[in-house]
Structure 1
Amino acid sequence: MTTLAAASAQDMKLAVMLADIGVVLVAGAALGRLAQKLRQPVVVGEITAGILLGPSVLGLLPGNLTERLFPVDVRPLLSAVSQVGLILFMFVVGWEFEKRLIRPHARLAAGVSLSSIAMAFGLGVALAPFLYDEHATVAGHHISFVAFATFIGTAMSVTAFPVLARILTENKLLDTRAGSLSLASAAIDDLLAWCLLAYVSALVTANGNYADLGRIGLWSAAYVAGMLLVVRPLVARLVWRWAATERWSALLAVLCAGALTSAWLTTWIGIHAIFGAFLFGFVMPREPAMVLAEHLRKPMDHVSVVLLPVFFIVTGLGVDLGALTSGDLVALVAIIVVACTGKLVGAILPARLAGFSWREAKDLGLLMNTRGLTELIILNAAVSLGVLDGRMFTMLVIMALVTTAMAGPLLSRRRPAETGVSEASKVPEVSGEPDPYGPEAAVDFIRPRG
Structure 2
Amino acid sequence: MKSLAPHADLQVATMMAGISIVLLTGLLLGGLGKRVRQPAVIGEILAGIALGPSVLGQFPGDLTHKLFPVATRPMLSAVSQVGLLLFMFMIGWEFEKRLLRPHRGVAAAVSICSVGLAFGLGVGVSTLLYSHHDHVAGHHISFLTFSTFMGAAMSVTAFPVLARILSDNRLTHTRVGTLALASAAVDDILAWCMLAYVSALVTSGGPKDLIQVLGLSVGYVILMFVVIRPALAKLVAYFGERQQWRHLLVMLCAGVFLSAYATTWIGIHSIFGAFLFGFVMPREPAVQLVEHLRKPLDHVSLVLLPVFFIVTGLGVDINGLHAYQYLELAAIVTVACAGKLLGAVVPARLAGFGWRESRTLGLLMNTRGLTELIILNVAVNLGVLDSQMFTMMVIMALVTTALAGPLLPKSSALMDTATVKVPVDTTASAAPSSRA
TM-score category, normalised to shorter length: over 0.9
Question: Which amino acid in the other structure matches residue 350 of structure 2?
Answer: L
Q: Find the residue that maps to 1:172 and give its secondary structure.
A: coil
Output the CA distance in 2 between the equivalents of 1:379 and 1:90: 14
Match of 2:410 among 404, 407, 415: 415
Partner residue in 2 for 1:382: 379
Partner residue in 2 for 1:401: 398
Match of 1:446 among 405, 412, 429: 429
Partners of 1:175 and 1:426 within 8 A in 2: no
* 1:177-196 deviations in Å (ceiling 9; x for gaps): 21110011001111111111
Question: Which amino acid in the other structure matches residue 426 of structure 1?
Answer: A
Partner residue in 2 for 1:41: 39
Question: Which amino acid in the other structure matches residue 102 of structure 2?
Answer: P
Q: Find the residue that maps to 1:73 and give its secondary structure.
A: helix
Question: Which amino acid in the other structure matches residue 427 of structure 1?
Answer: T
Partner residue in 2 for 1:424: 416
Partners of 2:158 and 2:371 within 8 A in 1: yes
Q: Shift of the alpha carbon at 1:385?
A: 0.5
Question: Which amino acid in the other structure matches residue 424 of structure 1?
Answer: D
Structure 1 segments of 4+ aligned residues over 2 angstroms from their partners: 421-424, 441-444
Output the CA distance in 1 between the equivalents of 2:300 and 2:428: 17
Q: Shift of the alpha carbon at 1:443?
A: 2.5
Output the CA distance in 1 between the equivalents of 2:258 and 2:84: 14
Give TM-score scaled by structure 1 length: 0.94
Question: Which amino acid in the other structure matches residue 93 of structure 1?
Answer: I
| Overall identity of the aligned pairs, in % | 61
Match of 2:346 among 344, 349, 369: 349
Output the CA distance in 1 between the equivalents of 2:163 and 2:198: 27
Output the CA distance in 2 between the equivalents of 1:422 and 1:365: 15
Partner residue in 1 for 2:28: 30
* 1:39-68 deviations in Å (ceiling 9; x for gaps): 100000000001110000000001111111
Q: Find the residue that maps to 1:424 and give its secondary structure.
A: coil
Q: Shift of the alpha carbon at 1:415?
A: 2.7
Output the CA distance in 2 between the equivalents of 1:193 and 1:10: 41
Partner residue in 2 for 1:211: 208
Match of 1:298 among 295, 300, 304: 295
Q: Which runs of 5+ in 2 are unaligned?
A: none
Q: Shift of the alpha carbon at 1:248?
A: 1.1
Partner residue in 2 for 1:162: 160
Question: Which amino acid in the other structure matches residue 121 of structure 2?
Answer: L
Partners of 2:286 and 2:425 within 8 A in 1: no
Give TM-score scaled by structure 2 length: 0.97
Question: Which amino acid in the other structure matches residue 229 of structure 1?
Answer: V
* 1:290-310 deviations in Å (ceiling 9; x for gaps): 010000000000011000010
Partner residue in 2 for 1:192: 190
Q: Shift of the alpha carbon at 1:350?
A: 0.3
Q: Shift of the alpha carbon at 1:442?
A: 3.3
Partner residue in 1 for 2:103: 105
Question: Which amino acid in the other structure matches residue 7 of structure 2?
Answer: A
Question: Which amino acid in the other structure matches residue 425 of structure 2?
Answer: A
Q: How many residues align?
A: 430
Output the CA distance in 2 between the equivalents of 1:425 and 1:364: 13
- Is it true that 1:117 corresponds to 2:109 in the alignment? no
* 1:255-298 deviations in Å (ceiling 9; x for gaps): 00000110010011011110100000000000000010000000
Q: Shift of the alpha carbon at 1:224?
A: 0.2
Partners of 2:290 and 2:427 within 8 A in 1: no
Partners of 2:157 and 2:184 within 8 A in 1: yes
Partner residue in 1 for 2:306: 309
Question: Which amino acid in the other structure matches residue 172 of structure 1?
Answer: R
Q: Shift of the alpha carbon at 1:421?
A: 4.3
* 1:232-268 deviations in Å (ceiling 9; x for gaps): 0001100111011011111100000000110010011
Partners of 2:357 and 2:414 within 8 A in 1: no
- Is it true that 1:90 corresponds to 2:88 in the alignment? yes
* 1:297-353 deviations in Å (ceiling 9; x for gaps): 000000110000100111011100010001110000000000000000000010000
Output the CA distance in 1 between the equivalents of 2:415 and 2:355: 16
Q: Shift of the alpha carbon at 1:28?
A: 1.0
